[in-house]
């Protein structure tokens, strides 16, 4: 039996199955390995109806139990459609804030463009898609306090002393005044949000501030002509981070079944944040850490999901004021930016199962890009560096394959000699390998090692918004989507065919046919892969062909002597 070819076929088959499984999950179909696709239809809401059940129950400590997912607050419909809207803008972000609840209901990312050359609209509040951020006050005695259903009035807007645009809205109920101030920093996707709470009457009930992100369960909107197969992250939904439990992703399907586990209580001083994640982009609330906080998540009966955090403000004396500062992130998952915002915030960028390999690969790729200024050339240089690192190992393997090609006639003769006697054939082959000092599995090693690197780079290219819309040369205008003319996949198929010819032909005719057809199978699969990934594979193949040809030439000259 030709062990080398069998292992090669198994490795390629498993890698192909894993990549195809990612596509199945993204397309809303069940994973081959279990699980339910995270998707749910968006449900339009009736305008003009205020849902008082929106307002969350207090979940702080032992004073009140956490609400069941079915009791989670829904979107603030109220009079959002007819409410006054205020615009806050810097050079990268445009926010739209509604006077109904003081909620952020629209966010346009000016430097991230769609296929129609329009800014990506991350937050939206339309009949077909709802995704927004909100906040408000609650108390244990269920007092009617300013919350995300209240009507807010504009108090002040303009630029502060540092030249930053800001807007302040206020609402007052039951003797409690809530002022929300939104401030944008130049070139930043982080919004400074201040909640100023003033107690005007003798109300002894402790107050709790809540911040939430609400979204329907639909997959993210398509933002490019090739978005679809092999072009989106497998996760869309809520996520939470705490210093103790680290990063937790909450599948929509798990929320539906009430099978989620999140840390509900966060001690004062510990970092924590909540987020809503999708391919390339995310939003998150990052409250301050001077108070203890409580995290909660759930689904609402109108098809919306939410994740929230409550901050107990305690008893506020009459005439006193408490200010709680938070940050709201709305933007792309640029790793170098995420790392500067909060502990663990870079985990919003989903690298899949091979994060341990993918992160250093992206780090190196980003460093190379800093010198060459083009992601395509950075991928090519990264491929060369990877080949150099594995050069000694690859050289030994190619030498083993060259030796195998040398003894190929003897193997064919043995197969004829011991036809119908597989045990004797295997014994004779093993004896020959021993005498010639040939490792029949030696040629498999570079492929086996390369597959995890290949899959890790697949996730890097899949998840990195840095390469979204990044051109290389000529017809490649976006490395994150498939080659529009399929030129790179065809070049890759030819290179694989040449590699097959340089390798020793398997003695088994069936295996020989499999190895011959493999370039065709893989080229078809690579039609749907991002151009950056195919570019890596093409360059890797060309380098392998050059290395293998040189070693074959060396052995050929040695044999001629």
pLDDT at 82 over 80: no
Mean pLDDT within 146-164: 92
Residues 172, 146 contacting (CB under 8 angstroms): yes
More confidently predicted of 132 and 350: 132
User: 3-26 and 509-526 helices cross at what angle (nearest 10)?
Assistant: 30
More confidently predicted of 173 and 60: 173
Look at 131-145, 268-282, 406-420, 520-534 and tell me which has the smallest mean pLDDT: 406-420
Residues 421 and 319 reside in one and the same domain: no
Residues 31, 25 contacting (CB under 8 angstroms): yes
The pLDDT value given to residue 396: 61
Q: What is the pLDDT of residues 203-248, one digit of tens each?
A: 668 899 999 999 998 765 443 333 444 444 568 899 999 988 888 8
Is 226 part of any domain?
no
Residue 332 maps to which CATH number? Answer: 2.70.98.90
Last residue of a domain, one of 323, 350, 377: 350
Torsion angles phi and psi, residue 280, rounded to 5: 75, -25
Is 32 part of any domain?
no
Residues 376 and 505 reside in one and the same domain: yes
Residues 427 and 453 reside in one and the same domain: yes
What pTM was estimated for this model as a whole? 0.76
Q: 209 forms bridges with which residues in the sheet?
A: 137, 311
Q: List Cα–Cα distances, 497 to 521, 523, 534, 542, in angstroms.
A: 11, 10, 15, 11
Domain of residue 236 covers 52-219+231-350
Is 225 part of any domain?
no
3-state secondary structure 506-538: CCCHHHHHHHHHHHHHHHHHHCCCCHHHHHHHH
More confidently predicted of 278 and 424: 278
Residue 555's pLDDT band, with cuts at 50, 70 and 90, is: low
Residue 93's pLDDT band, with cuts at 50, 70 and 90, is: very high
Query: Taking the mean position of all CA atoms in its chain, how far away is CA 237?
Result: 11
More confidently predicted of 518 and 352: 352
Residues 344 and 366 reside in one and the same domain: no
Residues 129 and 268 reside in one and the same domain: yes
pLDDT at 56 over 90: no
Q: What is the pLDDT of residues 409-452, one digit of tens each?
A: 777 777 777 777 777 777 777 777 777 666 665 556 666 777 78
Last residue of a domain, one of 350, 385, 404: 350
Residues 15 and 115 reside in one and the same domain: no
More confidently predicted of 404 and 557: 404
Residue 308's pLDDT band, with cuts at 50, 70 and 90, is: very high
Last residue of a domain, one of 350, 368, 387: 350
Residues 239 and 381 reside in one and the same domain: no
Q: What is the pLDDT of residues 26-47, one digit of tens each?
A: 444 445 444 433 333 333 333 2
pLDDT at 362 over 70: yes
Torsion angles phi and psi, residue 54, rounded to 5: -55, -40
Look at 78-82, 463-467, 469-473 and tell me which has the smallest mean pLDDT: 78-82
Residues 59, 65 contacting (CB under 8 angstroms): yes
Q: What is the pLDDT of residues 172-210, one digit of tens each?
A: 998 899 999 999 999 999 999 999 999 888 766 889 999
Mean pLDDT within 315-335: 92
User: 487-502 and 531-560 helices cross at what angle (nearest 10)?
Assistant: 20
Query: Residue 333: CB partners within 8 Å, gap ≥ 6?
Result: 280, 281, 282, 348, 349, 463, 465
Residues 19 and 59 reside in one and the same domain: no
Mean pLDDT within 136-143: 85
Is 42 part of any domain?
no
Residues 398 and 331 reside in one and the same domain: no
The pLDDT value given to residue 332: 94
How many distinct structural domains can be found in the chain?
2
Residues 159 and 182 reside in one and the same domain: yes
pLDDT at 255 over 90: no
Residues 377 and 519 reside in one and the same domain: yes
Residues 343 and 363 reside in one and the same domain: no
């Amino acid at each position: 039996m030709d062990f080398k070819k069998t292992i090669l076929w198994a490795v390629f088959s498993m890698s192909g199955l894993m990549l195809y499984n990612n596509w199945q999950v993204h397309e809303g179909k069940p994973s081959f390995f279990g699980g339910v696709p995270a998707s749910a239809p968006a449900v339009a809401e009736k305008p003009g109806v205020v849902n008082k059940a929106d307002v969350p129950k207090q979940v702080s400590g032992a004073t009140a139990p956490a609400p069941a997912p079915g009791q989670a607050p829904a979107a603030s419909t109220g009079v959002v459609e007819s409410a006054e809207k205020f615009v806050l803008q810097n050079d990268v972000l445009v926010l739209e804030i509604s006077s109904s609840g003081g909620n952020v209901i629209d966010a346009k990312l000016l430097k991230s463009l769609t296929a129609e050359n329009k800014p990506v609209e991350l937050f939206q509040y339309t009949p077909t898609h709802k995704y927004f951020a909100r906040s408000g006050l609650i108390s244990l005695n269920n007092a009617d306090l300013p919350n995300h259903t209240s009507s807010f009035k504009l108090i002040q807007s303009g630029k502060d002393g540092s030249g930053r645009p800001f807007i302040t809205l206020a609402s007052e109920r039951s003797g409690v005044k809530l002022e929300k101030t939104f401030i944008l920093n130049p070139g930043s996707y982080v919004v400074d949000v201040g909640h100023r709470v003033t107690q005007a009457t003798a109300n002894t009930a402790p107050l709790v501030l809540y911040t939430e992100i609400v979204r329907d369960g639909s997959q993210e909107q398509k933002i490019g002509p090739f978005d679809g197969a092999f072009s989106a992250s497998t996760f869309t939904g809520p996520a939470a981070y705490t210093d103790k439990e680290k990063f937790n992703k909450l599948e929509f399907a798990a929320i539906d079944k009430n099978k989620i586990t999140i840390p509900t209580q966060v001690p004062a001083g510990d970092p924590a944040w909540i987020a809503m994640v999708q391919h390339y982009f995310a939003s998150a609330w990052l409250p301050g850490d001077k108070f203890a906080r409580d995290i909660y998540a759930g689904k609402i009966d109108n098809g919306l999901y939410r994740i929230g955090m409550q901050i107990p403000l305690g008893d506020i004396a009459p005439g006193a004021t408490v200010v709680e500062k938070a940050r709201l992130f709305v933007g792309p998952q640029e790793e170098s930016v995420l790392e500067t915002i909060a502990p663990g915030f870079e985990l919003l960028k989903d690298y899949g199962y091979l994060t341990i390999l993918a992160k250093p690969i992206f780090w190196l790729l980003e460093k190379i890009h800093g010198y060459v200024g083009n992601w395509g050339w950075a991928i090519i240089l990264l491929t060369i560096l990877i080949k150099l690192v594995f050069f000694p190992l690859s050289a030994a393997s190619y030498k083993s394959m060259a030796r195998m090609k040398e003894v190929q006639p003897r193997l064919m003769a043995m197969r004829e000699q011991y036809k119908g006697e597989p045990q004797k054939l295997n014994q004779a082959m093993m004896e020959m390998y021993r005498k010639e000092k040939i490792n029949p599995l030696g040629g498999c090693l570079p492929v086996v090692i390369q597959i995890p690197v290949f899959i890790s780079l697949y996730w890097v290219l899949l998840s990195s918004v840095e390469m979204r819309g990044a051109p290389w040369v000529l017809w490649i205008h976006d490395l994150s989507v498939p080659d529009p003319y399929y030129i790179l996949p065809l070049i890759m198929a030819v290179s694989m065919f040449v590699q097959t010819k340089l390798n020793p032909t398997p003695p088994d005719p069936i295996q020989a046919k499999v190895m011959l057809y493999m370039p065709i199978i893989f080229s078809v699969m690579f039609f749907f892969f991002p151009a950056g990934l195919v570019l890596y594979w093409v360059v890797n193949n060309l380098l392998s062909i050059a290395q293998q040809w040189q070693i074959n030439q060396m052995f050929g000259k040695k044999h001629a002597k």
